[in-house]
Amino acid sequence: MQDAYFLYHSIGQYPGKEADLARVMAEFAAVWGAANDAQWGWVLARRAAFVDRWRGILNAPEGSVTTAENVTQAVHMLLTALPPERLRGKRVLVAADCFPSNHFLLTKLQERLGFTLDTVAMRQGSPWVEDEDFLAQWGRDVALAILTWVSSTTSRRIDLAPLVAHGRAMGSIVGVDITQGAGLLPFDVTAPEVDFAVSTSLKWMCGTPGAGILHVAPRLIPDCAPELRGWFSQPDPFSWALDRFSYAPDIRRFDNGTPGCVAALASLPAMDWHAAQDHGALLAQNRRQTARIIAAAREMGLDLVTPEPEDRRGGSVMLRLPGEAAAVVDALRAEGISTDGRGRILRASPGIVTTDSGVDLLIEGLKRHARG
């Protein structure tokens, strides 16, 4: 396992991940390839175990979490399930530093669902949207707001509680994309209580592509009528009377046809590994290593675009380089150091497999390649 691995904002790693993946996929192949009737019981039980692991991370009640392919699909599932009058003629509020894929989706959905997408801009020279600017733009005509808990471009962490409280006062539906912080930073869907949350399992939980989740608060679920529905959306999936469809009373109404389970079962070993860890120790390691990177960047005169206070950032450090980051990423990769970049922004996220000597390698590599 690579000591100088800094890609937890993209794909998380843990000791033994390759072997765990090989084992569980071999088990799946053996079960799915057997000429008997054991397949669905085995697969659905593991999908349920995956959901339960996520419920533990979110402190979510039973019947409030289901699987999705990714956060964009999960947002689509929620918005298109709401009563049309909840959105039509009103605003949906997002920040300019949201995950771009969600913005692409909302830009298109506003045409059909009749809302106006309102994007809170960054201040001149600021790399993120300020909470107070988001609050100032959040009026009673905002039907729904999607909050990005931790930014993928700056690792800036919003102050969630006052934003959710304001949303409650405005009568808005409040959702939060927790992808960049979930599994590293403590999160509780009930404190403050949000209406929905979306995430993937790729990052701090070290899962696989396609293993996303949607949480919907139990009080909101009865108001939702998902347009993509199927036999798994019902209280009894085997109720096949064509003239008597009804939605399940819980999150299962957001399921539709035969569920895709492979990503969930492939991610379950990683989720089991994560559940067995000392989460305080995981965070402490990240905080120690990110603090070293931040201090070194300051000494080198590099432009830090991640907040320095621990309570205002996620698990990553983003640096604006003098030139395009791609050349630096390539040079670091050649030296066994894994980072990535977006334009001039270099992103580094240490996790459980990142050693202190790996941090030394990154700092020395930045001294050689990142200065102007």
- Total Cβ atoms within 10 A of residue 312: 14
Q: Characterize 293-306 residue by residue with b for buried, 16 or more Cβ atoms within 10 angstroms of its Cβ, and e for exposed.
A: bbebbeeeebebbb
Q: How confident is the model at residue 293 (pLDDT cuts 50, 70, 90)?
A: very high
**Rounded Cα–Cα distance for residues 339 and 10 (Å):** 10
Residue 66 has pLDDT above 70, yes or no: yes
Q: How confident is the model at residue 169 (pLDDT cuts 50, 70, 90)?
A: very high
Residue 1 has pLDDT above 60, yes or no: no
> Average pLDDT in the 130-150 region?
98
Q: Which domains does the chain have, with CATH numbers?
A: 38-275 (3.40.640.10), 279-369 (3.90.1150.10)
pLDDT tens digit sequence for 27-53: 999 999 999 999 999 999 999 999 999
Residue 2's pLDDT is what?
80
**Rounded Cα–Cα distance for residues 69 and 60 (Å):** 19
Question: By the 8 A CB rule, do 4 and 358 touch?
Answer: yes
Residue 371 has pLDDT above 80, yes or no: no
Residue 230: burial class (beta carbons within 10 Å; 0-12, 13-18, 19+): middle
> Average pLDDT in the 50-77 region?
98
Residue 306's pLDDT is what?
97
pLDDT tens digit sequence for 183-213: 999 999 999 999 999 999 999 999 999 999 9
**Rounded Cα–Cα distance for residues 235 and 245 (Å):** 9
Residue 70 has pLDDT above 50, yes or no: yes
> Average pLDDT in the 59-76 region?
98
- Where does the chain show beta strands of DSSP type E? 65-68, 91-95, 116-120, 142-148, 173-177, 196-199, 212-216, 303-304, 317-320, 340-342, 345-348
Q: How confident is the model at residue 372 (pLDDT cuts 50, 70, 90)?
A: low
The model carries a pTM of 0.96
Share of the chain above pLDDT 90, in %: 98
> Average pLDDT in the 99-105 region?
96
Residue 43: φ, ψ to 5°: -70, -45
* The residue to which tokens 């918005």 are assigned: 79
